[in-house]
Structure 1
Amino acid sequence: MHTQVLPEPTEAARTEGKAARMTSLHLSAMGEMVERFLDAAARGDLTQASTLLSNTPSLINQKGYSGWTALMLAARNGHYNVVEVLLSHGCDKFSVNSSSQTAYDIAKFWGHRHISNLLGRTDDGCRRVLPDTDLHQHENYFSRETLDRLSGKRTDKVWLETKRNHPDTVYLLFSNLSPMVSSSQVDEHTGVETKLCRFRYEAVKELLQKPATVLIFLGVEKRRGPSSPSSSQMEEGVQEPPAWFAISTDEDAAELLKRCREKNCSFPKTPNRDLLTFSEEEAGIVAQARSVLAWHSRYSFCPTCGSSTQLEEGGYKRSCLNADCRSLKGVHNTCYPRVDPVVIMLVIHPDGNQCLLGRKKIFPARMFSCLAGFVEPGETMEDAVRREVEEESGVKVGPVQYISCQPWPMPSNLMIGCLAVAISTDIKVDENEIEEARWFQRQQVIESLLKGPHPAFTFPPRQTIAHQLIKHWIGMNSNL
């Protein structure tokens, strides 16, 4: 039997094999060192992190799982001293992980303000006033400012009187807090388009003489140029843009409708639905006018002494007619329009891939929305979020992040939209508040928003901040 004899490896082959083994060992050792360095940063072990970095400076921007650097891990866990040392060694603070998040984004999300402030400073030591991510927030419905409110002109009685009589001034008519509108059928995708009915002075001047009429100065149309007119420009005779006023009267709605030449005018009967059909430009005007008129409808008498009151400052103040009332002495907020702050929050599951939604009995069938509740006196926004979520659903919340806000003229709320991270997941609803709460998988939410309503559930319409919070969340990655 012939036995094959294998040739001895050449010297070159032996050298090449040895080099490959050495490279493998080096990579293994380097990988282990990276893991130790990242772990030290995550735990806040400044001594170990500094020692490893001194021996191997190339560790500074090494990435681990999901593209996280030592700076990101230290920022995530609130280790200010580690972040400070890493920055002093010249680490790349603009590096992003696999979800395109910087260390600044991570620190801000988890509420480590001292670290986000440090990371937000520019190379010359100046603080970046607004991070790039804050400059492109979504504009919520009812939020667009089409008019320049010119609040400084509200105390100028002569100027206001001139504007009231001006032929270019625009008047909006309200009945029971609903604006007169004209509606037209649009295509099947957009449905009905609602527009405000606009009147001139001649059409409403007799209404202005009635004692029960409430008149609100809304502002002047914003110029389309690069800047708005200043008060000094206006006083120098520069042509001013048209002013807008809102009128609320006790005249019968049918009589008011006769003033409109168009045939398809009406007053919306269901505000929560009908007021969501305006253009973005007109929705903001409606929110302003309706909120102030709602305040007048509820506070026609002095809340301090019960006497009658009179309108002042373009409709933005009511003064008590009782000369002895203490509301006329010192600083009081009982004579100005009120805004009720409400927190509305999308609660995220600790796994990052589920969100908590609830439904009230008054909701349309199958609709789920974000939890919400009023902010109480002496309470921070963050504490209000935690309290309301636990009261309504039994779920405890940790970090809270503000996203955006929305005026909600039903009658005069400011919806403060937040994301919140749950630190418990068991649900126990308060049936006096909501009838059901449920965790929804991210994929379920995506399919419902992109492909149309799910057979088992639906979400609020796009005009609501709840819808925008949900949409904001599914646009994020769960890598925080």
Structure 2
Amino acid sequence: MTSLQLSAKDEMVEKFLDAAARGDLSQVSILLSHVPSLINQTGYSGWTALMLAARNGHHHVVEALLAYGCDKFSVNSSSQTAYDIAKFWGHRHISNLLNRTDDGCQRVLPGSDIRQQENYFSREMLDRLSAKRTDKVWMEAKQIDSGSVYLLFSKLCPMVNSSQDNDDAGGETKLCRFRYEAVKDLVQKPATVLIFLGVEKRKKSCSSKTEEEAWEPPAWFAINTDEDAAELLKRCRENNCFFPKIPNRDLLKLNEEEAGVVAQARSVLAWHSRYSFCPTCGSSTKLEEGGYKRSCLNSDCRSLQGVHNTCYPRVDPVVIMLVIHPDGNQCLLGRKKMFPGGMFSCLAGFIEPGETIEDAVRREVEEESGVKVGPVQYISCQPWPMPSNLMIGCLAVAISTDIRVDENEIEEARWFPRQQVIDSLFRGIHAALTVPPRQTIAHQLIRHWVGMNSNL
């Protein structure tokens, strides 16, 4: 074979791979009809036409190449199949196509599952024992039990103590825990809101099996009161006790387990603070079921007939999403005026009635930034007790890139290159970009993205 023939063959392969990468189905079909052996030819780093089409989201080309009989299990120099590439870039419709067996069924591939992420405010150290909430005898016995734990809240913030100065970001913050005798007078006041949180999951170490069987885990309660905060602080024997003034900042200093307790307690207490009157008829309401229900005192109110969401603590679902550029190497972050200088975060917004998670992601991104979104993938969620949200974290792939900011929502939005995000996240060397703290799901979504296979 002459060098001229070799050059012509290389040129044909290059033309074929370029057509696949551009999504030119007509050119791909013409070349394959003349030279069928092109189907599994490789270019730079072992990339095939199928891999290039999958990388750039050309579903119609991928479908045609599969019909021509290309090898979808071949790997490039980084040991990645076309499926791996499509999945990484968020082209779910293509990865689903490549993941099918010959009989049309979905194949479960190694590594295809998303690792379960535990976010701040998500850990539960208490067993909620929801079945016990209607057991008045058991509940009253637990309230006066000497081993029960009480948390004191003032204006929806728990009393805490810090090992360092309160304003020191590095200070270790812990919940102040009280026994019944110390808060007995508050519990007995009609205006006090008392909720049952659950019992401790972990058992104490017992010296004998008999002691272990006889031991019952302590019950936890939360109290929210309108009593003067300064007077409440006098009840605590520990030093440096205070009520956090900026919950969005100060509550992020708790350890993971106590943060989970606060997420539960603060969300329920916030609901009580907004629903002291019946939303249906305006009458007064009373607490029931350990603080997890409010019943209208008007016997004629229709809320007493059937099940109504006004009677139980509400949770407001919010989508929060990291939008990935079509090139896969940039992400979209925005900033609000209230953010510290240089801080950018993921876009977010409330899910509307009758709306899916995916549609909410697409709507919110377009409303806030003007960017249109295609594939959406759920990653993890986070309770956010300010006052009672469930943050539903997603990755979303953009299908447009022009930014038009809605200044009523955010003041600025930008595409940030992966390397700049990495430098800010792990090295703190980019003054132009500060990411949210690690306790936020926005931070975890960004970490998830930069941790994805960088070989692509």
Whether the 8 Å CA contact 1:375–1:381 is kept in 2: the answer is: yes
Distance (Å, rounded) in 2 between the aligned partners of 1:101 and 1:266:
56
Matched, 1:203 2:185: no
Q: 2:161 and 2:446 mapped to 1: Cα distance?
A: 32
What stretches of structure 1 of length at least 5 have no aligned partner?
Answer: 1-20, 226-236
Q: Which one of the candidate residues 331, 353, 357 is aligned to 1:355? A: 331
Equivalent residues of 1:212, 1:249 under 8 A apart: yes
State the SS of the aligned residue for 1:185: coil
Task: Give the match's secondary structure for 1:276.
Answer: helix
- Between the aligned partners of 1:286 and 1:44, the Cα distance in structure 2 is 56
AA of the residue aligned to 2:253: T
AA of the residue aligned to 1:98 = S
For 2:316, the aligned partner's letter is D
Aligned to 1:250: 226
Q: Return closer, same or farther for 1:178/1:352 CA change in 2, 3 Å cut-off.
A: same
Match in the other structure for 2:443: 467
Query: Per-residue deviation at 1:162?
Result: 2.1
Q: Residue 300 of structure 1 corresponds to which residue in structure 2?
A: 276
Distance 2:338 2:18 in 1: 51
What is the percentage of aligned positions where both structures have the same residue? 70
Name the counterpart of 2:116: 137
Judging changes above 3 Å, is the alpha-carbon distance between structure 1 residues 395 and 114 closer, same or farther for their aligned structure 2 residues?
closer
Find out whether 1:399 has 2:375 as its counterpart.
Answer: yes
What does 1:38-437 align with in structure 2 at a 5 Å threshold?
92=73, 98=78, 103=83, 106-107=86-87, 110=90, 112=92, 116=96, 119=99, 132=111, 134=113, 136-185=115-164, 191-223=170-202, 239-437=215-413
Structure 1 residues 266 and 38: alpha-carbon distance in aligned structure 2, compared to 1, 3 A threshold: same
Whole-Å separation in 2 of the counterparts to 1:331 and 1:284: 28
- 2:163 aligned counterpart, secondary structure: strand
**Are the structure 2 counterparts of residues 59 and 429 from structure 1 closer, same or farther at C-alpha, using a change threshold of 3 Å?**
closer
For 1:355 and 1:136, the matched residues in 2 are separated by 21
Query: How far off its partner does 1:113 sit?
Result: 6.7
Offset of 1:260 from its aligned partner? Answer: 0.8
Query: 1:443 is matched with which residue?
Result: 419
TM-score (norm 1): 0.78
Instruction: Give 5+ residue unaligned stretches, structure 2.
Output: 205-212
| 1:267-321 Cα deviation digits (max 9, x unpaired) | 0011111011011111111111101100000111111111111111111111111
- Of the two, which has the highest radius of gyration? 1
Partner Cα separation in structure 2 for residue 216 and residue 437 of structure 1: 41
Label 1:165 to 1:366 Cα distance change in 2 as closer, same or farther (>3 A): same
Report the more deviating stretch, 457-466 or 173-182.
Answer: 457-466
- Quick one: distance in 1 between partners of 2:431 and 2:248? 24
Q: Deviations over 1:358-377 (max 9, x none)?
A: 11111112221111111111
Once residues 131 and 337 of structure 1 are traced to their aligned partners in structure 2, the CA distance between those partners, rounded to angstroms, is 40
CA distance in structure 2 between the partners assigned to 1:63 and 1:173 by the alignment: 67
**Structure 2 contact 51–85 (Cα < 8 Å) conserved:** no
> 2: distance between equivalents of 1:301 and 1:277?
34
The 2-side partners of 1:217 and 1:313 are apart by 9
Q: Are the equivalent residues in 1 in contact too, given 2:337–2:411 (CA < 8 A)? A: yes
Give the TM-score normalised by the residue count of structure 2.
0.81
Q: Distance in 2 between matches of 1:318 and 1:131?
A: 48
* Contact 1:348/1:419, CA 8 A, preserved across alignment: yes
Structure-2 change in CA distance of 1:324 and 1:360 (3 Å): same
Which residue does the alignment assign to 1:231? none
The answer to whether the 8 Å contact 2:39/2:65 transfers is no
Q: Is the 8 A contact 1:153 1:160 kept in 2?
A: yes
What is the DSSP-based 3-state SS (H/G/I as helix, E as strand, rest coil) of the residue aligned with 2:313?
coil
